[in-house]
Structure 1
């Protein structure tokens, strides 16, 4: 009988078989939550030595109810659904999986650029409604030579730049803390101010984390400064964009179009005004997905949790300061 229990709050793939196999190696079993409701998680976490979570909110109440908790592991890169401050106060490491879906998000971003430029979604809807008229999607312009502005230039931003150069786009980026390799590699993209990026880009693509400083970064002023012919793309976090400001701009011609894979809240109602617009492309937070990326995500997320349970350092931790505290000084290995 397994000695440890890992509460899995939610997942979007068929079954957590990979996680079960990885965690069995450290004598841990999975406890699957029937829902991601806070009340269910509070009840179940009392049995748990660890949490693995995808999109469910791991709140202060959930964390405090887990008196045996040793680690909270995130399936993914961002941890805005986890109360990291509470976990840190309670000496609980919060792990994440860095850069597991770089190709997938970059490909989705490029797909959005091409779909917006070629009006693919608009023409698809028009044909299904009986119209075969070229004029339905005019004007259109070639992608070659157009300027792509990347807000955020981490691994995903850099991969988007690399792929966009294959379409002969002019790529610029803004990042207040750019990676050293990005600064050194001047051939990939040009670093510019945020103001210059906003005003000169034909496509503005968001690849920044969601923090208090970046929440609704794309507000009415941001959008007003964009070209009226420009398009906005968001495959990062829904909270980066003020949806009301975007709705107004798309309705009134402030910008030409937008393509969003993420929203705030995560799921909009079918009758939401944004989803009624022909100049908006929407996908249901799938940019991260491929069979390969999800298998990698399952393995690496569970390995992070298994490492802590086995007395080793995880691959990546969002609150490394807890490792300096007496509870965790016994951990061996290295962390990113």
Structure 2
């Protein structure tokens, strides 16, 4: 078997090489930025290990030898799953490698917003030392936390946040009420945005969720609310978030993900004084990073040995 590592942003691919060498799998390494790059590099490859490179019908049609794609990440929006299904190609991912990291990052961003930690830091560096410098602060234990998407990460967020907030409410149309933890109250999406003091997003990016958080939902929120996104940048309409911040509907927003990454340093969302930004880092710890890479690479080894990857997104033929 021959595998192409289409692209990567970590320092090297020695971990992946060592796994594939032990399994007797040949490895090709590239830094593909578009479909044509993938097509050129993937000649004779049955498997792709993908980070950001786009994989779709054009790739599958040009390289029918490709039978499996494994994505480095829980999300798989860079792989067109409908195209993979049409061509009978397996798609796999790494859904559980960084659950604790993302949830704790989301909670850290949430508390930094509601306690004005970043605003205090900026004020002090500007020479302003006073507890009231950042404006009104409400008690966290009086607040309602709303979670959109109660999968692995959303549930972990609810679990670690439940003792800090008065209530935890959640929306997930794919769960029945019995699948909600006892400390989480199921609500519809409109109710969540009306009642939550701070909303944390934990949904994949797909046709249902693209642009989900827009002016219509943000207008439902209480004045001075907060929004945290550690999911995917495309879930949020950034212009609508900026408007909500400027009008005071949102007191702050924390964004680990953006529609365009990296953003321009002079963009409004980066420079806005009430926006906290991190560089798509919620998934990361040294341990989680290694686990992600091992599991994504192992999908291809398992397919070669057993005809099936460990973490199936699309079943191939």
Mark yes or no: TM-score above 0.5: yes
Aligned residues: 317
Give 1:126's aligned residue: 123
**In structure 1, distance between residues paired with 2:217 and 2:101:** 27
Superimposed CA distance per residue, residues 206-227 of structure 1 (whole angstroms, 9 cap, x where no aligned partner): 1111111111110110000011
Give 1:331's aligned residue: none
Q: 1:81 to 1:179 in 2, by over 3 A?
A: farther
**In structure 2, distance between residues paired with 1:105 and 1:55:** 19
Give 2:297's aligned residue: 302
1:264 paired to 2:259: yes
Q: Report if aligned partners of 2:144, 2:165 keep a CA contact under 8 Å in 1.
A: no
Q: 1:143 to 1:96 in 2, by over 3 A?
A: same
Q: TM-score, normalised by structure 1?
A: 0.89
RMSD after superposition: 1.7
**In structure 2, distance between residues paired with 1:154 and 1:104:** 14
Give 1:178's aligned residue: 175
Q: Report if aligned partners of 2:3, 2:46 keep a CA contact under 8 Å in 1.
A: yes
What is the CA-CA distance between 1:35 and the residue it aligns to? 4.1
What is the CA-CA distance between 1:168 and the residue it aligns to? 4.2
Runs of 4+ in 1 over 6 A off after TM superposition: none
| Counterparts of residues 233-252 of structure 1 (less than 5 Å) | 233-252=228-247
Give 2:148's aligned residue: 151
Q: Report if aligned partners of 1:46, 1:67 keep a CA contact under 8 Å in 2.
A: no
Q: Report if aligned partners of 1:94, 1:317 keep a CA contact under 8 Å in 2.
A: yes
Give 2:284's aligned residue: 289
Q: Report if aligned partners of 2:90, 2:313 keep a CA contact under 8 Å in 1.
A: yes
Q: Report if aligned partners of 1:235, 1:262 keep a CA contact under 8 Å in 2.
A: yes
Aligned with 1:280 (options 275, 279, 290): 275
Gaps of 5+ in 1: 326-336
Aligned with 2:307 (options 304, 308, 312): 312
Give 1:333's aligned residue: none
Q: Report if aligned partners of 1:71, 1:305 keep a CA contact under 8 Å in 2.
A: yes
